[in-house]
Amino acid sequence: MDVFLVATRLILAAILGAVIGIEREIKNRAAGFRTHIIVSVGACLIMLIGIDGIGKFSSDTARDTARIAGQVISGIGFLGAGTILQKKNAVTGLTTAATLWLSAAIGLAVGIGYYEGAIIATVICLVTLISLNKISDLINKKTIKSYSMIFDT
């Protein structure tokens, strides 16, 4: 694989990770701009190593890249778990953990050359995070009602 193609894939992975990370950064989440870039670029690089590096030593490149992708996704699960917190009756950080997981998947997709899927997934993620937030708030709106009773004696 030539240097231009490697650089193109790594830069695209960085851009797509940054787009998701900016939204998380604006909302002051635990994992933001830099973290999403690093996850996406790291996953892309690992896939490139699987294609170009390991492919030179193994006759079954398809199986090796599939195993690599699976291990990346498993590893990102541990990173995502670090963003999830439970406080009393609320769990926070699930969406950020999911965006980290998706950033890794996007990086893997770019690394293997599936640019269209990576770009579409990024757009869907942004639409979900930005536009569907209001719908989610309406669905999850919890109304607390209090009543007072006064008795005459």
pLDDT at position 114 is 96
Q: How far apart are CA 109 and CA 118, in angstroms?
A: 6
pLDDT at position 60 is 64
pLDDT per residue as tens digits for the range 101-145: 999 999 999 999 999 999 999 999 999 998 887 787 777 776 555
Contact 33, 15 (CB under 8 A): no
Residue 150 lies in a domain: no
Residue 11 lies in a domain: yes
Q: Which residues of 11-32 are buried (b: 16+ CB within 10 A; e: fewer)?
A: ebbbebbbbbbebbbeeebebb
Mean pLDDT of 18-34: 90
pLDDT at position 62 is 60
Residue 37 lies in a domain: yes
Question: 88, exposed or middle or buried, with CB in 10 Å at 0-12, 13-18, 19+?
Answer: exposed
Q: How far apart are CA 52 and CA 2, in angstroms?
A: 10
pLDDT at position 144 is 56
Tally of domains within the chain: 1
Indicate if the pLDDT at residue 16 is higher than 70.
Answer: yes
Radius of gyration of the chain (CA): 21
pLDDT per residue as tens digits for the range 44-91: 999 998 888 776 676 665 667 788 888 888 888 888 888 888 777 777
pLDDT at position 74 is 86
Residue 145 lies in a domain: no
55 or 150, higher pLDDT: 150
pLDDT at position 63 is 62
- H/E element holding 144? none
Residue 42 lies in a domain: yes
Question: What is the residue range of 34's domain?
Answer: 3-140
Contact 41, 49 (CB under 8 A): no
Residue 90 lies in a domain: yes
Residue 7 lies in a domain: yes
Indicate if the pLDDT at residue 32 is higher than 80.
Answer: yes
Q: How far apart are CA 116 and CA 127, in angstroms?
A: 17
Residue 151 lies in a domain: no
Query: Would you say the pTM of this structure is higher than 0.75?
Result: yes
Q: How far apart are CA 7 and CA 54, in angstroms?
A: 19
